[in-house]
Each structure stands twice: as structure tokens, then as C-alpha cells.
Amino acid sequence: GIQVEQSPPDLILQEGANSTLRCNFSDSVNNLQWFHQNPWGQLINLFYIPSGTKQNGRLSATTVATERYSLLYISSSQTTDSGVYFCAVESTSGTYKYIFGTGTRLKVLA
């Protein structure tokens, strides 16, 4: 089945810094989502982005489906950005399964 790899696995930033999180996938996908899991465990969807670029405030995401990767950009990071960031893909295998990456754990220091 499709493999989803995220990098880096861990990231520590000073407040105000920028960062780029990467999601690589091993096969074609129908769609891709980015999620943030906050320190209380809540999962919040950030972007639904099977291709192209989207922006929402300090966050933006780009998916290059032909090259099988997606990037999540966080600018001017804040302590509230801390948590784990997951990408999840739905493969083109004919099912409607979702496969999650193992996440990037981000800690933003004040």
C-alpha cells in the first residue's frame, strides 16, 4: 500500500521563526489533508489540498501531486502552534481509505 513519510520527526523553534514541514507519499493520491493535533489531543483540519497552494493566515500549504510531496509552511510561529502535524492521503487504489503519516512534533519556545 501507499507509504506516507513526514519530516522532520521533531522540530523545536523559537517564537517568531518560520518552518517548513514535508510530507512525501509513495503513490498517486486522490486527496491530501494536513491536520494539527494540539497538546490536548484535539485534531484540527488545516488544509484539504490534493494539489496546488492554499493559504490561511500564517499557514500555507503546497502539494505537488506529480512529484508526490506536500509542504506545510508556518510563518512567525507562536507557542500555540505547538503540537503534532499530520498529513493524511487517500490513495487512488479504488478504496476510500485514509493513510496518515507518523507526524512532525513541533515545539515553539517563548
Partner 1 sequence: EAQVTQNPRYLITVTGKKLTVTCSQNMNHEYMSWYRQDPGLGLRQIYYSMNVEVTDKGDVPEGYKVSRKEKRNFPLILESPSPNQTSLYFCASSYTLLVDGGPDTQYFGPGTRLTVL
Residues that bind partner 1 (CB under 8 A): 1, 30-31, 33, 35, 41-45, 48, 86, 88, 90, 95-103
Closest approach of partner 1 to the CB of residue 93, in Å? 11
Closer by beta carbon to partner 1, 17 or else 62: 62
CB atoms within 10 A of CB 48: 11
Nearer to partner 1 by C-beta: 19 or 91? Answer: 91
What is the distance between the alpha carbons of residues 83 and 73, in angstroms, rounded to a whole number? 15
| 79 within 8 A of 108, measured Cβ to Cβ | yes
For 81, 93, 101, the CA distances from 9, given in Å and listed in that order, are 16, 27, 10
Residue 36 or 108: the one with the smaller Cβ distance to partner 1 is 36
**Shortest spacing between CB 15 and partner 1, in angstroms:** 27
- Closest distance to partner 1 from the beta carbon of 20 (Å): 20
Beta carbon of residue 62, minimum distance to partner 1 (angstroms, whole number): 17
Q: CB nearer to partner 1: give 16 or 52.
A: 52
3-state secondary structure of 21: strand
CA dihedral of residues 88, 66, 27, 84 (deg, nearest 10): -20
